[in-house]
Amino acid sequence: MKVKTQSKKVNKAWLNDHVNDTYVKLAQQEGYRARAAYKLKEIDEHFRLIRPGAVVVDLGSAPGAWSQYVRRRLGGTGAIVALDMLPMEPIDGVRFFQGDFREGVVLAEVEAALGERKVDLVVSDMAPNLSGIAATDAARISLLVELAIDFARNHLQADGALVAKVFHGGGYAELVDAFRANFRLVKPLKPKASRDKSSETFLVGVGLKP
């Protein structure tokens, strides 16, 4: 009974924080599907990543807040291709594919949607299901970031950029090194919309190295 009571208290505290969260309220007011839109907004405003006419790929896109933000920034220009293993409600002007891009069929669909166009920006909010076992979770996180880097390496313009969610802890330094091995400029940024208690931050890599 004690464990259940504690769990209820934790859930109630989280729900209270969520309901009163400034970014949750702002997302509701501005029509975003999640508060995460403001993380990408701050990153974009800081690095000026999204330009008119850009081709953007959103990895781990569900529920769609990042794609919504990109679509609004691009207006009627450019193109957005979104991908997630989870379903996502349609967004006007966004081509969505449900599946794992490690599978050849899914990757082929994404590449067909891109056509001959190189990508200007890849954004990845991908995160694994965490087990609570530090070493296992670090390995799962690292794998997703490495997959995002590999996708970016194969599809970005030479001066394109990658934004990827990472977590401080085991494997973080190695992921920074992996970014530095592939991009000319590498900067970490923890947006204000990222919860203080969260260990997440975002790595931004700009300009592919030869």
The answer on whether 44 is annotated among ligand-binding residues is: no
Contact, 27 vs 38, CB < 8 A? yes
Q: Which residues contact 124 (CB under 8 A, 6 or more apart)?
A: 59, 60, 144, 145, 148, 162, 163, 164, 165
Please name which of 118, 121, 126, 125 lies closest in space to residue 183, comparing C-alpha atoms: 121
The residue behind tokens 């919504």 is: 68
The answer on whether 104 is annotated among ligand-binding residues is: no
Marked catalytic residue, from 8, 41, 118, 165: 165
Please name which of 61, 79, 88, 76 lies closest in space to residue 115, comparing C-alpha atoms: 79
Q: What is the Cα–Cα distance from 80 to 61, expressed in whole angstroms?
A: 11
Q: What is the Cα–Cα distance from 156 to 25, expressed in whole angstroms?
A: 35
The answer on whether 64 is annotated among ligand-binding residues is: yes
Whether 165 is catalytic: yes
The answer on whether 125 is annotated among ligand-binding residues is: yes
The answer on whether 100 is annotated among ligand-binding residues is: yes
Binding residues for S-adenosyl-L-methionine: 64, 66, 84, 100, 125
What residues act catalytically? 165
